[in-house]
Amino acid sequence: MAKLNKVVLAYSGGLDTSIIISWLKENYGCEVVAVVGDVGQGDELEGLRDRAINTGASEFYVADLKEELVNNFIFPCLKANAIYEGKYLLGTSFARPIIAKRLVEIAKNVGADAIAHGCTGKGNDQVRFELGIKAFAPSMKIIAPWREWNIKSRDEEIDYAIEKNIPITLTRETNYSKDKNLWHLSHEGLDLENPENEPDYDKILELSVSPEKAPDVPTYVTISFEQGIPKKIDGVEYGPVEIIKKLNEIGGKNGIGIVDLVENRLVGMKSRGVYETPGGTILYYAHKELETLCLDRETSHYKELVATKFGELVYFGLWFTPLREALSAFVDKTQETVTGDVKLKLYKGNIMNAGITSPYSLYSEEIATFGADQVYNQKDAEGFINLFGLPITVKSMLSKK
């Protein structure tokens, strides 16, 4: 391997990146600059500076990305109702591009020769990180140790850490692969690798409780939106980061947003994981309910197609692309009237609509009523049905001939 002067490492303090510092120095003879993207990991950030320096990093940076993550990545996905394969709310997916962008900025500032990450060659995150890096530094060398070294498993990683006297915080028995940020917490590996196994939620869950352990009485919550962006909870205004934290707390107590998912990875294989997204699940549900009042039929139906494509683009790591930007422009236009209040009833993992209001509501009780009205002539339906059904009538007549 050619010697490098300085490498910026996307550092988490987990097993992978803990041993990668030593591996990079040993194999590339370089300085290692450890960079943590703070996307809401909370107490996981504690002690990372000392850990990185003690395991060989020459410099350490923490980039606070929470506000930017919510405003520029999470809220655009929320407004689009972007979901991957009907279940996954993209928690890991939209956190990677913003970290990649900051890695490039720091790499340029410190004069690094390369950027390294700890993603495996089987996962989606290698694609998301590297496409993000290419968007801002197309000539930057990228090092992915999992695609270079002889280590084949997490057990062998632990063996390497023990051999090199690298302190790690997990054991072979509790070695779930996790990813935590402001929006979600994912769990993969161990017994979850077999889809036949029911998850041991009492052992796994950290942001939430299982529905069985949620309160026996419902919790009501009202979320206020302005142009598709959540602004208030029960009449109290919150900042973008705080509103997600507050809803995580409310949703977690009620067992909301627990998903057991077998998904199709971009690299071609299927994987199984358990995701906790309590606040995000509430926001997606409330936003979709508000749109039922505020969007006309054609826009609403077309937006469902956009939501699917938007979710795929984010999942595939294609955030910094013309198509994603164009779809966001379309979505923003649709959100101009998505303003109002959504009251929800939370009960043991379930979310139920408890009332919606909007100054831009397209719903007319006078027109929709089953009672007498003065604005809708029911006789008009006969002509509409004759014209709408004309192709069926013509086909039937021709078939008889």
The answer to whether the annotation marks 219 as part of a ligand binding site is: no
> Where do we find the tokens 């890991």?
92
Whether residue 324 is contained in a domain is answered as: no
Q: Active site residue: 22, 38, 51, 96, which one?
A: 96
What is the extent of the structural domain holding 221? Answer: 184-295+338-357
Let me know whether 189 and 139 are in one domain. Answer: no
Contact 101, 37 (CB under 8 A): no
Q: What is the DSSP letter of 44?
A: G
Give the SS3 label for residue 232. strand
Q: Active site residue: 16, 38, 113, 179, which one?
A: 16
12 pLDDT higher than 70: yes
Burial class (CB in 10 A: 0-12, 13-18, 19+), 196: exposed
- In the prediction, which pLDDT does 48 show? 95
Let me know whether 69 and 167 are in one domain. Answer: yes
Contact 255, 162 (CB under 8 A): no
The answer to whether the annotation marks 216 as part of a ligand binding site is: no
10 pLDDT higher than 60: yes
Give the mean pLDDT of 146-155: 90
- 238: enclosing H helix or E strand: none
Let me know whether 257 and 277 are in one domain. Answer: yes
166 pLDDT higher than 90: no
- In the prediction, which pLDDT does 383 show? 94
Contact 73, 319 (CB under 8 A): yes
Whether residue 383 is contained in a domain is answered as: no
Active site (annotated) includes residue 113: no
The answer to whether the annotation marks 363 as part of a ligand binding site is: no
How high does pLDDT run on average in the chain? 94
Let me know whether 87 and 128 are in one domain. Answer: yes
> Where do we find the tokens 């942001």?
207
Active site (annotated) includes residue 49: no
Express as a percent the part of the chain with pLDDT over 70: 96
| Sign, Cα dihedral of 301, 305, 306, 310 | positive
The answer to whether the annotation marks 341 as part of a ligand binding site is: no
Higher pLDDT, 174 or 27: 27
pLDDT digits (tens, 9 = 90+) for 15-67: 889 999 999 999 999 999 999 999 999 999 999 999 999 999 999 999 999 99
Active site (annotated) includes residue 96: yes
Phi/psi zone of residue 23: left (φ > 0), alpha (ψ -120 to 50 degrees), beta? alpha
The answer to whether the annotation marks 120 as part of a ligand binding site is: yes
Q: Which are the contacts of 203, defined by CB distance < 8 A and separation ≥ 6?
A: none
Give the SS3 label for residue 8. strand
The answer to whether the annotation marks 88 as part of a ligand binding site is: yes
- In the prediction, which pLDDT does 369 show? 65
| Dist CA 330 CA 332 (whole Å) | 5
* DSSP bridge pairs for 121: none
The answer to whether the annotation marks 118 as part of a ligand binding site is: yes
Let me know whether 155 and 230 are in one domain. Answer: no
172 pLDDT higher than 60: no
The answer to whether the annotation marks 16 as part of a ligand binding site is: yes
- In the prediction, which pLDDT does 170 show? 61
| Sign, Cα dihedral of 282, 284, 288, 294 | positive
Sheet holding 185-188, edge to edge: 177-180, 185-188, 270-276, 258-264
283 pLDDT higher than 70: yes
Let me know whether 274 and 344 are in one domain. Answer: yes
Confidence of residue 153 (pLDDT cuts 50, 70, 90): confident
Lookup: tokens for 274: 């358990």
Give the mean pLDDT of 120-147: 97
167 pLDDT higher than 90: no
Whether residue 231 is contained in a domain is answered as: yes
The DSSP annotation for 192-249 comes to GGSTTSPP-HHHH-SS---GGGS-SS-EEEEEEEETTEEEEETTEE--HHHHHHHHHH
CATH number at residue 233: 3.90.1260.10
Give the mean pLDDT of 377-396: 93
| Dist CA 35 CA 29 (whole Å) | 19
| Sign, Cα dihedral of 65, 67, 73, 77 | positive
Q: 145, 176, 207: which is the final residue of a domain?
A: 176
| Dist CA 179 CA 14 (whole Å) | 10
Active site (annotated) includes residue 234: no
Question: Degrees (nearest 5) of the Cα angle 78, 83, 88?
Answer: 115
CATH number at residue 99: 3.40.50.620
Whether residue 19 is contained in a domain is answered as: yes
Q: 138, 155, 176: which is the final residue of a domain?
A: 176
* DSSP bridge pairs for 260: 274
Let me know whether 108 and 218 are in one domain. Answer: no
Sheet holding 59-64, edge to edge: 59-64, 31-38, 6-10, 114-116, 141-143
Q: Which are the contacts of 110, defined by CB distance < 8 A and separation ≥ 6?
A: 6, 8, 33, 59
The answer to whether the annotation marks 93 as part of a ligand binding site is: yes
In 3D space, the residue among 9, 17, 68, 8 whose CA is nearest the CA of residue 38 turns out to be 68
Calculate the CA dihedral of residues 40, 42, 47, 50 and round it to 10 degrees: 10
In 3D space, the residue among 309, 348, 314 whose CA is nearest the CA of residue 330 turns out to be 309
Domain total for the chain? 2
- In the prediction, which pLDDT does 174 show? 59
What angle do helix axes 15-28 and 154-163 make, rounded to 10 degrees?
60
- In the prediction, which pLDDT does 154 show? 80
Let me know whether 121 and 203 are in one domain. Answer: no
**125 to 130, 160, 198, 275: CA distances (angstroms):** 8, 23, 26, 16
Give the mean pLDDT of 226-239: 98
- Among 42-46, 214-218, 230-234, 257-261, the range scoring the smallest mean pLDDT is 42-46
What is the separation, in whole angstroms, between the first and last Cα of the chain? 79
The answer to whether the annotation marks 315 as part of a ligand binding site is: no
Contact 244, 66 (CB under 8 A): no
Q: Active site residue: 49, 58, 154, 177, which one?
A: 177
The answer to whether the annotation marks 102 as part of a ligand binding site is: no
Whether residue 108 is contained in a domain is answered as: yes
The answer to whether the annotation marks 37 as part of a ligand binding site is: no
* DSSP bridge pairs for 187: 178, 274
Q: Active site residue: 125, 179, 208, 271, which one?
A: 125
- In the prediction, which pLDDT does 290 show? 98
Contact 15, 161 (CB under 8 A): yes
| Dist CA 244 CA 96 (whole Å) | 19
Q: 176, 195, 214: which is the final residue of a domain?
A: 176
Let me know whether 218 and 247 are in one domain. Answer: yes
- In the prediction, which pLDDT does 108 show? 98
pTM for the full predicted model = 0.94
| Dist CA 32 CA 52 (whole Å) | 9
